[in-house]
Structure 1
Amino acid sequence: MDQEVRITLRLPAELHAWLVTQSKTARRSLNSEIVHRLEVERASTDTTDKSP
């Protein structure tokens, strides 16, 4: 990551709690967990969006 941008993000409490649990299971910070999940989703979207 060359550059970082700080944002304020509002999440439903239930989603936040789930993400906290997932980040602890993966031994990542909450921020790293969110970034990881977004990067995985972006990668899967990039591969499925390509036309043959």
Structure 2
Amino acid sequence: MDEEKRITFRLPADLHAWLAAQAKANRRSLNSEIVYRLEGERAAAVADAESP
């Protein structure tokens, strides 16, 4: 990442708990887990857009 931006957003409590558990299982911070998952979704979206 060349530049980082801070954002604040709300999550439903059950989604937050699930993400926190996934982060712990993957030995990542909650922030890193969210970024990891968003980057994966972005890569998938780009791949879908590029396929015929």
Match of 2:21 in 1: 21
Aligned length: 52
**TM-score, normalised via structure 1 length:** 0.95
CA RMSD after TM alignment: 0.8
Structure 2: state its 5+ residue gaps: none
**TM-score, normalised via structure 2 length:** 0.95
Q: How does 1:1-52 map to 2 (within 5 A)?
A: 1-52=1-52
- Percent of residue pairs identical: 65
Question: Residue 49 of structure 2 aligns to which amino acid in structure 1?
Answer: D
Structure 1: state its 5+ residue gaps: none
